Amino acid sequence: MIHVENLVKRYGKLVALDHFNLDVKDGEIFGLLGPNGSGKTTAINCILSLLTYDKGEITLFGKPMSPTNYESKRKIGVVPQNVAVFNELTVYENIDYFCSLYVPDKAKRKPLVEEAIAFAGLSDYRKFLPKKLSGGLLRRLNIACGIAHKPDLIFLDEPTVAVDPQSRNNILEGIKALNASGTTVVYTSHYMEEVEQLCSRIMIMDKGRAIATGTKEELTALIHTGEKLTVEADGLPLSVLEQIRNLPDVLRADYAEGHLKADCKGYGHPVIDVLDLLRQSGVHFGQVYSEPPTLNDVFLEITGKQLRD
Amino acid sequence: MKVFKASLLILRRRAAQVAVYFFMFTAMFIIIASFTSQQVATDFSAVRPSFTVVNRDQDTPLTDGLLEFLRERGTERVFPDEKKALQDATFFHATEYILIIPEGFDQSVWSGSPLSLEAVSVPGTGKSYYLDSLANQYWNFVNVYHKANPSLSRADISEMALEALSMETSVEMVRFSDSRPIGELYESYNRVQSYILIVLTLLCVTSITMSFRRPDLHMRNLCAPITTRQKNLGLFLYCALVGFIVWLLTTAVGFFVSLPTLQGADGRLVALLFLNSFLYTLTALSIAMLLNYFISNPNTQNAIVNFLGLALSFLGGAFVPLEFLSEGLRAVSRFTPVYWYSEAVSDICRLTVLNKESLAPVWRSFAMELAFAIAILCLALAVGKSKNKAEKSFGSIRTEIEM
Ligand SMILES: Nc1ncnc2c1ncn2[C@@H]1O[C@H](COP(=O)(O)OP(=O)(O)OP(=O)(O)O)[C@@H](O)[C@H]1O
Ligand SMILES: [Mg+2]
């Protein structure tokens, strides 16, 4: 559905996209995950032909994308990162206007607009002007304006920034429902939990480059870090910590504020070994928990920095 | 069509702002109008000068005729024929004109070699000349009729002279009103109309373009499958409609408020004034097209609209007649469309005959207004082109960094 090859985009000297490649298949929810300034928005804007680019090929629906490819544009919905609605138009009028650009027939449009209002949970606000809406409601209006015409392909650029957790869950559920009805979704975010929860495939971006692509499992399998173990332990002697670090399945271990943290290797399960060691050394321990690796770990390991700095 | 409809919706939300301008302007004008109409009335009575006739000859039908003639046009003040009394009368402006008929005057007229009349006028008022010329006209007619037909009695001659004079003055009256075929009130409205026209047009047009040019909205519109041409067509239709409505409203207000002063005015002149303001609306529209590239928020909008409206209208003599502006300002003024608009207003309001020659300056002003409209529109298109090129990279869109 989307095919991007060797895309290069420069803003003056800054290389915002550096030989960027992307393939999105029909019917998936594709996540673009990356820290601020990694080039997610730039990538989307290039794909939509809103920006000119220096090099590369972009194909949408099997056809080269261009600013005048109205046939493709008709099948696309865009939810931009910044709320882009008319301040002078009410909620209903805004959705109706943007929908009318795709669906000129008024009779056909009306149910679509109503559906979008229901989807975004804006039924009580249809006559409100945007300045009367809270930040979260504005975001929802922004989404409704982008999806009312039932596109086959939707780009959502950080749609949940500044939305309260409950609305966020509603939005994510809504996106899943859209996808279930056959819509392909490209979703950008720097919240990895969101991407993990929502997306069938994920691309991790940094500095304009795709550093890894795959399902969540595929991505976490890419790295050396496996399970992450935390043990509540009082007065852990340095010698014991050293012994733990030397266990074959432990990648690294640290002790701070009464908590022992140990990252395990790939598919190793050193929990028993660690706890045995502690007991033998006479260290008392409390709660023990273990987490699977996250996309943050993937990002951390590949780039050497946190996803959210 | 979508863009057109959305534009109208947006305008509706901003209608209050536009309406405030319009109603304030209208109210101001109505107040001014009621002022000037009062002034016209007092002016008219002041035009009747006071006069005194001192007859040292006997009263004859001829002198009676003169008195009757002067009384129709002035107010008689009677003073005794004493040097002191007459001096005081002129000194205190109790009378503005004293005509002294010397002894034997009647006889001298009858014999064909009239004695000269003695007249005292109060210095500094033009009205005494008016009376002086009236008296001279009367005696001239008397002379002519007597010479032409010596058998006529004094009473007959006096009557004939008065009749002839009334005909002459009635002709003169028509000519007098002819030299101001359009009342002063309507003329001044037309001058000030240039201000409200430009303010309202600029407000209405830039309110819409301001929204559509917001980078994020512009981008969203670009995502949609409508061509730039469709979008521009919508905006163009909107501008045309708004320009027409603004023109129609302001023209109608001026016309109906000034209607009492327009009785008997030549409809063709009024039509020319309509055409003039219409042409100026076109100029205002193209100015709006140009300015929309520089107006991005309501603050700059208000500042620019008010400044431009006032500056242009001032230069065009909407508030202060052009004659009172300094040479330098007048020279600058020539390079503004509003100058030609004002010129056209002045010319049209003074047209007594409509022919090729008298209309030539009016057509020239019209052509200048149109030329300005076209030139500014071309400039606007050029600016638009270069701005669009720069926008290709959306330099103004910075993704906000939020956590
Ligand atoms: N119009 C512009 N002119 C110059 N540089 C730009 C412009 N827009 C973006 N950039 C730069 O390009 C890089 C990529 O920006 P982009 O907006 O694509 O990042 P992003 O991944 O969307 O970030 P965010 O999470 O903040 O939305 C950043 O370094 C940014 O500063
Ligand atoms: Mg972004």
Q: Residues of chain A whose pLDDT is less than 70?
A: 307-309
Interface contact flag, B224 A98, Cβ < 8 Å: yes
Residue among B14, B216, B397 whose CB faces A88 most closely: B14
The dihedrals phi and psi of A122, each to the nearest 5 degrees, come to: -110, 15
For residue A9, the chain B residue with the least C-alpha distance is B393
pLDDT over threshold 70, residue B175: no
pLDDT at B142: 86
CA of B83 to the centre of ligand 1 (A): 101
CATH number, domain with residue B71: 3.40.1710.10
CA-based nearest residue to A296, from A309, A287, A282, A285 = A309
**Closest protein CA for atom 18 of ligand 1:** A39
The one-letter code for the residue type at B24 is M
Instruction: Point out the least confidently predicted range of B45-49, B80-84, B183-187, B277-281.
Output: B45-49
**Beta-strand runs (E) in B11-167:** 50-55, 75-76, 97-101, 118-121
Would you state the pLDDT for residue B126? Answer: 66
Residues 6+ apart with CB under 8 A from B398: none
Same domain, B208 and B334: yes
Q: pTM for this structure?
A: 0.74
For the cut 90, the answer to whether the pLDDT of residue B385 exceeds it is: no
Q: How many domains does chain B have?
A: 2
Of the three residues B166, B189, B207, the one that is the final residue of a domain is B166
For residue B151, being part of any structural domain is answered with: yes
**Is the CB–ligand 1 distance for residue A159 below 6 Å?**
no
Q: Please compute, for residue B229, the number of CA atoms within 13 A of its CA located in the half-sphere on the CB side.
A: 1
Q: Quick one: which H or E segment has residue A19? A: strand A14-24
CB < 8 Å to B216, chain A: 80, 82-84
DSSP B190-238: HHHHHHHHHHHHHHHHHHHHHHHTSHHHHHHHHHSS--HHHHHHHHHHH
Q: Write down the pLDDT at residue A308.
A: 60
Is B38 contained in some domain?
no
Q: What share of chain A is helix, strand, coil (3-state, %, to 5)?
A: 35, 30, 35
Asked whether residue B77 carries a pLDDT value surpassing 80, the answer given is yes
Q: Is B5 exposed, middle or buried, given 0-12, 13-18 or 19+ CB atoms closer than 10 A?
A: middle
Spatial contact of A154 and A118, defined as CB atoms under 8 Å apart: no
For residue A171, how many C-alpha atoms fall within 13 Å in the half-sphere facing its CB? Answer: 28
**Segment among A105-109, B29-33, B51-55 with least mean pLDDT:** B29-33
Selecting from A67, A82, A86 the residue whose C-beta is nearest the C-beta of B400 gives: A82
Do residues B158 and B184 both lie within one domain? no
Task: Please give the order of strands across the beta sheet that includes A250-256.
Answer: A250-256, A259-265, A225-233, A285-291
Which amino acid type is present at position A276?
D
Q: Does the Cβ of B398 fall within 6 Å of ligand 1?
A: yes
CATH number for the segment(s) A2-220: 3.40.50.300
Instruction: Give the tens place of pLDDT for each residue, B332-375.
Output: 888 889 989 988 988 888 887 788 888 899 999 999 999 999 99
**Would you say residue B42 has pLDDT above 50?**
no
Number of H helices, E strands in chain B: 15, 4
CB neighbours of A191 closer than 8 A, spacing ≥ 6? A160
Given this model, what pLDDT does residue B174 score? 40
What is the average pLDDT value for chain B, to the nearest integer?
82
Query: What percent of chain B lies above the pLDDT cut of 90?
Result: 21
Residue B251 shares a structural domain with residue B110? no
**Residue at a domain's end among B108, B141, B166:** B166
Residues of A with CB under 8 A from a CB of B: 11, 36-37, 41, 45, 48, 50-52, 67-68, 70-71, 73-74, 76, 78, 80-89, 93, 97-98, 100-102, 104, 129, 145, 158, 161-162, 190, 308
Query: Residue B2: its chain A contacts at CB < 8 A?
Result: 97, 100-101, 104
Between the CA of B32 and the centroid of ligand 2 the distance, in Å, is: 58
User: Does B36 reside within a domain?
Assistant: no
Joined together, the tokens standing for residue A172 give 């994510």
Lowest mean pLDDT among B8-17, B131-140, B302-311: B131-140
> Is pLDDT of B393 > 60?
no
Q: For CATH 3.40.50.300, list the domain ranges present in chain A.
A: 2-220
Alpha helices, H only, A37-191: 40-47, 70-74, 91-100, 106-119, 135-147, 165-180
* Residue at B354 is within a domain: yes
Give how far the C-alpha of residue B394 lies from the chain's centroid of Cα atoms, to the nearest Å: 49
Query: Rg for chain A (alpha carbons), in Å?
Result: 24
Has residue B270 been placed in a domain?
yes
Q: Tell me the per-residue pLDDT of B238-291, one tens digit each, with 9 for 90 and over.
A: 999 999 999 999 999 989 888 888 877 788 889 999 999 999 999 999 999 999
Q: What are the DSSP calls for A214-272, one per residue?
A: E-HHHHHHHSSEEEEEEEEESS--HHHHHHHHTSTTEEEEEEETTEEEEEEETT---HH
* CB B238, CB B8: distance < 8 Å: yes
The C-alpha R_g of chain B, in whole angstroms, comes to 32
Residue B401 lies in a domain: no
Which positions in chain A touch B217 (Cβ < 8 Å)? 84-86
Closest among B344, B314, B309 to B329, alpha carbons compared = B314
Predicted pLDDT of residue B43: 40
Helix (H) or strand (E) holding B281, with range, is helix B267-291
The tokens describing B392, both together, are 């290709």
pLDDT score of B168? 56
pLDDT category of residue B36 using cuts at 50, 70 and 90? low
As a whole-number percent, the residues of chain B with pLDDT over 70 amount to 88
Of all ligands present, the nearest one to the C-alpha of A37 is 1
Cβ proximity of A167 and A136 under 8 Å: yes
Q: Each residue of B350-370: b (16+ CB within 10 Å) or e?
A: ebeeeeeeebeebeebbebbb
The answer to whether residues B161 and B221 belong to one domain is: no
Ligand 2 centroid to Cα of residue A234, in Å, is: 44
Q: Is residue B40, in this structure, part of any structural domain at all?
A: no
B143 and B263 inside one domain: no
For residue B402, give the ligand 1 atom closest to its CA. Answer: 26
B306-322: per-residue pLDDT in tens?
899 888 888 887 777 77
User: B214: which chain A residues are within 8 Å (Cβ-Cβ)?
Assistant: 84
Q: Which of A171, A43, A35 is nearest to B401 (CA)?
A: A35
**Is a pLDDT exceeding 90 seen at residue B201?**
yes
* Structural domain for B63, as ranges: 50-166
Question: Contact B220/A145, CB-based, under 8 Å?
Answer: yes
At residue B29, the pLDDT reads 80
B169 falls in which pLDDT band (50, 70, 90)? low
Dist. CA A53–CA A8, nearest whole Å: 6
Contact A154, A185 (CB under 8 A): yes
Residue B397, domain member (yes or no): no
pLDDT greater than 80 at residue B216: yes
The pLDDT value given to residue B399: 39
Q: Which residues are CB-neighbours of B159 under 8 A, at least 6 positions away? A: B65
Q: Give the separation between CA A72 and CA A186, rounded to whole angstroms.
A: 16
Query: Class of A225-292 per CATH?
Result: alpha beta
Tokens of B86: 């007459």
Q: Do B225 and A102 touch (CB under 8 A)?
A: yes
**Residue-level length of chain A:** 309
Quote the longest CA-to-CA distance of chain B: 116
Among B301, B329, B299, smallest CA distance to B315 is for: B329
What single-letter amino acid sits at A71? E
> Token digits for A143?
């989404």
- Among partner residues B1, B10, B222, which is closest to A89 by beta-carbon distance? B10
Confidence of residue B401 (pLDDT cuts 50, 70, 90): very low
B106 and B245 in a single domain? The answer is no
For the segment A17-70, what is each residue's pLDDT rounded down to a tens digit? 999 999 999 999 999 998 888 899 999 999 998 888 888 999 999 999 988 889
d(CA A45, CA A186): 12
Token pair in block for residue A146: 């982008």
A–B interface: beta-carbon pairs under 8 A? 86
pLDDT at A98: 95
Nearest to B399 among A41, A98, A145 (CB): A41
Distance from CA of B400 to the nearest CA of A (A): 8
- Position A226 scores a pLDDT of 80
Mark whether B205 and B341 lie in a shared domain: yes
Burial label, B171 (beta-carbon count in 10 A; 0-12, 13-18, 19+):
exposed
Residues B161 and B185 both lie in one domain: no
Residue B70 is predicted with a pLDDT of: 85
Task: Tell me where in chain A the CATH 3.30.70.100 domain(s) lie.
Answer: 225-292
B166, B201, B222: which is the final residue of a domain? B166
- Please give the Cα distance from B137 to A51 (Å, whole number): 87
